[in-house]
Chains A and B, each alone.
Chain A
Amino acid sequence: MRVRVLLFARLRELVGGDSLEMEVPEGTTLGELWRLLQADNPALQAFTSPPLMARNLEYAGPETPLTGDEEIAFLPPVSGG
């Protein structure tokens, strides 16, 4: 299945764009997706700790499986306020 991942702040700068798309096996989890993206985009390897992850506008853990029909985002530690 094809998934699109939204990126923000430093992650966005590392890859030079605000999203990435990738073909992944059915049932891939968020954590696996992050590792696949890192393998595919060496620039992301500068981001050593796992990012926060969101699925359909809610924070979600790395064990969350993907269906391919959702909005995924990887987020650096937040620094608003």
Chain B
Amino acid sequence: MGRIVRDAIDLQELAGRVSGQEIGGIAVFLGTVRIQNAGKRVVAVEYQAYASMAEKVLERIEGEVRRDFGALKIALVHRIGRLEVGEISVGIAVGAPHRREALAAVEYAIERVKVAVPIWKREIYEDGSEWLEPAPASPTGEAG
């Protein structure tokens, strides 16, 4: 299943993908569209992806999580297109034998998604719109 999707992200389906007999804890992070940012009222958000590269980077992050956190299963999905306030933009679910691995892995994964995955957010206001361009961090996770 693709990691970059146009349809709504389903929490139950996401968590179901990382459940299993060896799993003792599932941690989930959902990013949602907030009604205001930096003092401006947000009407909607449009996400654009370099989809082929984004799929690859998300797959790599999943690999890092499995390798470094003892997580057994991970599901990472990012929605693109126009999203209304309150809708889920990103969903991450990790299943691990114990809660600590699952919680740590989810936090790691969302931080990596924010700096490394080629996806861009345009906020739409009542009187215009703007691409968000945060201060660049190293997308490869290297210092500098």
Contact = CB atoms under 8 A, between A and B. Distances in A.
Contacts of A52: 118, 136, 139
Interface residues of A, number: 20
Nearest to A6: B50
Interface stretch (B12-20, B66-74, B97-105, B126-134): B126-134
Contacts, number: 78
A59 B115 CA distance: 12
B50 A79 contact: no
Q: How large is the interface on B (under 10, 10 to 19, 20 to 34, 35 or more residues)?
A: 20 to 34
Interface string A41-79: 000000001001010011100000000000001011111
Nearest to B4: A80
Nearest to B78: A80
7 contacts: A9-B48, A59-B139, A77-B133, A78-B115, A78-B119, A80-B117, A80-B121
Given A57-B52, A78-B116, 13 more contacts: A54-B50, A54-B118, A75-B118, A76-B133, A78-B114, A78-B134, A78-B139, A79-B119, A79-B132, A80-B49, A81-B31, A81-B110, A81-B119
